Structure 1
Amino acid sequence: MLAAIYIEYIVGTIFILLYTITILGLVLVIITENRNPLKTISWVVVLLLAPGIGLLFYFFFGQDNRKQRIISRRTYKRIMKRPSERVLAQDKCAVPKQFQPLVTLLNNTNQSSLLYGSDIKIYTNGTDKFRDLLEEIEKAQHHIHLQYYIFCDDEIGNQVKNALMAKAKEGVQVRVLYDDVGSWNVKRQFFDEMKESGIEVYSFLRVVFPIFTSKVNYRNHRKIVVIDGKVGFMGGMNIADRYVKGLAWGNWRDLHFKITGKGAQGLQSAFLIDWYVVSKNLITSRDYYPVTPALGDNCIQIATSGPTGQWRTLLQAAIFCIANAKKYIYIQTPYFLPTEGINQALQTAALGGVDVRLMLPKRSDARSANMATHSFIDDMLKAGVKVYLYEPGFLHSKLTVIDDSIACIGSANMDFRSFEHNFEISAFVYDTTFAQKMKKVFQHDIHHCEQVIPSRWLKRSFKQRIPESFMRLFSPLL
């Protein structure tokens, strides 16, 4: 009996010792990876205070893939150079002086070409977006490339699926890419039907438990459609009924764009890079990059960002834009969990006299993220940032417009996840007319917002502040 107890004691001691060494070893690894200090502290706190859950969460969400490459530099450059070929004389368009270094930044970190002469149509609701998307799919003659974070098996999803299947049967090349986690609730049969009709379908970073659990945290959040290399769609809307019908407690306010002309070829390269990653099929034929006439006087750079590779392109670009604003910065985002760089840049701009306005949803679909957001609002208000809370429903729009000179549109939220964990895409549009249009969109939405009054907000009860401040500790992980 005593021997059994003694053996049990020895085994228990060894287990605790090994477990402790594992936790402390992970803490050491996290510290030596030289991550963002806020993120490092968050993981250390989780591992030390809740080692069991923390260890599980680390293997799911914590591993750092910055040094990994999912595509070779050579292959990446082969795909990215295509949009810059067949350059027209008018492609040497003017970029505002204050943002000329941004063009260089995006080119150096992302090989993003400056593309001239696109027509951009703005959508603020899903009804118009999906109507035009289905019309453009019907017109397709050569290929349809479609990529979404979420592709739902609902009314809208089936309309799009049936339209794609019909074109595949006509002989049009159709390729579909969806995120494995974003579309987790969709039964495989939904995508199998597309495959049976001749559509090439792949999931991005498929998660197979328990071997590849770290992939859960690195998701492809991009929304891209390219048709015949001439027309593209991008923005914040996935494929789901809620973008048309809204939610039970309000409308779904979003932004999406149709880009016709040269800018669509920037979207093409982004899609084909992701396609190569999942299919290992390298597509660089000029058939996918047809000659397009100039349809406007704007310049666009299509830039992507993700958890692999050396640079955080979209984070660096956002900080640059904010730091170089002279008159105003208008931002719409559904989640505001800024990195320290973004946080300081916005406060510095506001304190320097720039009119900084931030629009957020009053009610969110993610309660924990919304609570953490509230703690960051304190910092903004104290610096003089004007904060607006959208009331009719959920604001899912991602927009930054600055000085009537540049507008940044795409899939990225103003949070750690978009800037550091997700594969995202944004278009930087250098054009006064387009920037003014996006400014008007923002100003129109202000009429549906409640402006946060600093004297009231900063007097929130201690009981309310405590959970908000606590959730802020985990903002890099949300």
Structure 2
Amino acid sequence: MSWVYNILWLVIFANTVLAVVTVFKEKRDIAATWAWLLVLNLLPVIGFVIYLVVGKKISKERIFDIKLQEKLGINQLVELQKEQWNEKELLPYDLLTRESQQTSRLFLEADQAIFTDNNQVTFYTDGQTKFTQLLTDIANAKDDIHIEYYTFYSDEIGTQILGALEAAQKRGVNVRVIYDSMGSRGQAHHFFKHLEELGGQAEPFFGSKKSYFHSPRLNYRDHRKIVVIDGTIGYIGGFNIGDQYLGRLKKFGNWRDTHLRIIGNAAVALQSQFFQDWNATVKNSPEASPIEYADRYFPLQRAQGSTGIQIVSSGPDNETEAIKLGYLKMISNAHDYIFIQTPYLIPDDSVLEALNVAAFSGVKVKIMIPSMPDHAFVYRATQYYAKELLSKGVEIYQYEDGFMHAKTMVIDGQMASVGSANLDFRSFKLNFEVNAFCYDRKLAVQLTEVFENDEKKSTKLTPEFFEQQSRWLKFKQYFSRLLSPIL
């Protein structure tokens, strides 16, 4: 039987060497490196299958395709605003607190995110109202409709929106759609065939139009949710396109999310982000062409409202994690309170420490998470960090009226962030995200009131809640926490 042990040790040795080579051949931070070594060595062979699906990075060529794209219509404004900022002539000096002025400069430098003011903002917390307004805006579109969603399902609401897009294309509106093939898994590109026959265009983000060629990679996905209509109306937030976002799936019940509709020059920044993603996506497509700059895509608008906004993006194409830096800046700027809603609470060390410092300093920190999982390991890791933050004085609320999917942060009734980025490693490092950082006391107060109303439908967690959990559940939480850099 000694030959069996020899073969077993040979397999273990070979697996270990291969694990080290596999993990270290691609640049990662230390936490992710150790997490992958743990997976590959604890799960011989199976670990490599998991790595193929979850861990394999985008090729350098693909990353270059994304970096190469210019922020059409924005570059000149960025340089002008930097000059104005240095001369203290930029509008935020008149409209914002000193802390918000610094945040504005941070985004300008880190992400070339221009500051836009006089935006009119409406927020939605239920899918029915949001999709009703979106369908109305599509029906009223005159020139261009640009849609980018992580999930675009061919269910009832998806079919309804597609029908509205087809009708718009028929009357001469130019329709372009980007969808993520993994986020829309099970969705065949054939769904968009009639739209394309009418002259519209639909492209999977870094994927094939043949569903059986979709990349199995779970990371490095287009998690953004962007709609721009005629360059004047923009949508950004947490809702995807699917019946579950209307609360039609029994598994989740009521779907609680937050989305913004923006009329104003922030739509120009969303338009520019869409163009970047579109041009990178279609670079090698024989059926779609890149978009070139034209004045009509960036119409100058008269004052619509009073909200200052910066549209900030992040993704694996940029080592500067601009959205995370924005979260850190907001947390450090807070004097009175920080209210956060997120479905996934898996912060890295910098965000964890910032939240702890805020709580230790007497700032009221409240975080709301779901009461149910949609991804088992992710939810167990969320529970671990909820317990950790609770022990440092952070208040944790578990939303009970369905699934909490909103990605919002509000501080001091002064500033708010709404977008696609969760408070987790995946949003900071692994996926392409976009958030609207809003400088508006009225909007911040309204979103604060929304949080407080959601508290009434939530359970405030206590140390006893976690102490009463079974040893097995606690083990799953600790184990999931070890994998948090790759979840």
**Are 2:392 and 1:392 aligned?**
no
Tell me the residue number matched to 2:22: 26
Count of matched residue positions in the alignment of Structure 1 and Structure 2: 469
The match for 2:383 is 374
Deviation at 1:369, TM superposition (A): 1.4
Taking the TM superposition and a 5 Å limit, the aligned residue runs for 1:205-354 are 205-206=206-207, 215-249=217-251, 250-280=253-283, 281-354=290-363
Alignment TM-score, normalising by the size of structure 1: 0.91
Aligned equivalent of 2:176: 175
**1:106 match: secondary structure:** helix
**2:403 aligned counterpart, secondary structure:** strand
Question: Aligned in 2, Cα 1:342/1:14: closer, same or farther, shift over 3 Å?
Answer: closer
Distance 2:140 2:150 in 1: 24
Aligned to 2:286: none
| Corresponding residue SS for 1:257 | strand
8 Å CA contact retained: 1:378, 1:458: no
Flag the 1:291–1:24 CA change in 2: closer, same or farther, 3 A. Answer: closer
Kindly tell me: are residues 471 and 216 of structure 1, through their superposed partners in 2, closer, same or farther at Cα, counting changes over 3 Å? closer
Q: What is the CA–CA distance in structure 2 between the aligned matches of 1:212 and 1:131, rounded to whole Å?
A: 31
Matched, 1:466 2:468: no
- Secondary structure of the structure 1 residue equivalent to 2:381: helix
Which SS does the other structure have where 1:117 is aligned? strand
Moved more, 37-46 or 201-210: 201-210
Question: Kindly tell me: are residues 51 and 199 of structure 1, through their superposed partners in 2, closer, same or farther at Cα, counting changes over 3 Å?
Answer: same
The whole-number CA distance in structure 2 between the counterparts of 1:78 and 1:196 is 28
Structure 2 residue ranges without an equivalent (≥5): 284-289
Contact in 1 for aligned 2:78/2:112 (Cα 8 Å): no
Equivalents in 2 of 1:210, 1:289: separation in Å? 38
Q: In the alignment, residue 368 of structure 1 is paired with which amino acid? A: F
Alpha carbons 1:42, 1:474 under 8 Å: kept:
yes
Q: Does the Cα contact within 8 Å between 1:110 and 1:304 map onto a contact in 2?
A: yes
Note if 1:362 corresponds to 2:371. yes
Does the C-alpha gap of structure 1 residues 378 and 308 become closer, same or farther in structure 2, counting only changes over 3 Å? same
CA distance 1:67–1:101, shift in 2 (3 Å): farther
Contact kept in structure 2, 1:247 and 1:393, CA below 8 Å? no
CA shift for structure 1 position 67: 7.0
Aligned mates of 2:450, 2:385 — CA distance in 1? 24
More displaced 10-residue stretch of structure 1: 445-454 or 36-45: 36-45
SS of corresponding position for 1:150: coil
Q: Percent of counterpart pairs with the same letter?
A: 36
After superposition, give the CA deviation of every residue in 1:172-212 in whole Å (9 maximum; x if it has no partner). Answer: 11101100111121122211122112111111011689999
1: distance between equivalents of 2:213 and 2:11? 23
**Corresponding residue for residue 139 of structure 1:** 140
Cα shift readout 1:62-110 (whole Å, capped 9, x = no counterpart): 2455977344766424443377699999955522211322212211121
Q: Quick one: distance in 1 between partners of 2:206 and 2:7?
A: 39
Q: Distance in 2 between matches of 1:75 and 1:374?
A: 39
Deviation of 1:343 (Å): 1.1
Q: Distance in 1 between matches of 2:170 and 2:427?
A: 37
Distance in 2 between residues matched to 1:223 and 1:28, nearest whole Å: 33
CA contact (8 A) 1:122 1:258 kept: yes
Change (3 A) 1:85 1:468: closer
| Alpha-carbon distance change, 470 to 215 in structure 1, aligned in 2, over 3 angstroms | closer
- Give per-residue Cα distances to partners, 1:386-427, cap 9 Å, x unaligned: 111110110111100011111000011111111111100000
Which residue does 2:457 correspond to in 1? 448
Whole-angstrom CA distance in 1 between matches of 2:393 and 2:6 = 61
Displacement of 1:23: 2.4
3-state SS of paired residue (1:116)? strand
Q: Do structure 1's residue 81 and structure 2's residue 75 form an aligned pair?
A: yes
Deviates more, 1:393-402 or 1:45-54: 45-54
- Contact kept in structure 1, 2:337 and 2:412, CA below 8 Å: yes
CA distance in 2, matches of 1:275, 1:232: 16
SS at match of 2:45: helix
1:198 aligns with 2:192: no
CA contact (8 A) 2:71 2:275 kept: no
2:152/2:158 contact within 8 Å kept: yes
Q: Distance between the aligned counterparts of 1:245 and 1:24, measured in 2?
A: 45
**Does residue 99 in structure 1 map to residue 127 in structure 2?**
no
CA RMSD of superposed structures (Å): 2.9
Is the Cα–Cα contact under 8 Å of residues 205 and 278 in structure 1 kept in the other structure? yes
Equivalent residues of 1:82, 1:289 under 8 A apart:
no
Q: Which amino acid aligns with 1:334?
A: P
Residues 1:90 and 1:474: Cα distance change in structure 2 (over 3 Å): closer
Query: Do the aligned residues in 1 keep the contact of 2:371 with 2:400 (CA within 8 Å)?
Result: yes
Matched, 1:123 2:124: yes
1:54 aligns with 2:56: no
Deviations 1:272-322 (A, max 9, x none): 110110123133211111010111222100011101222111112111211
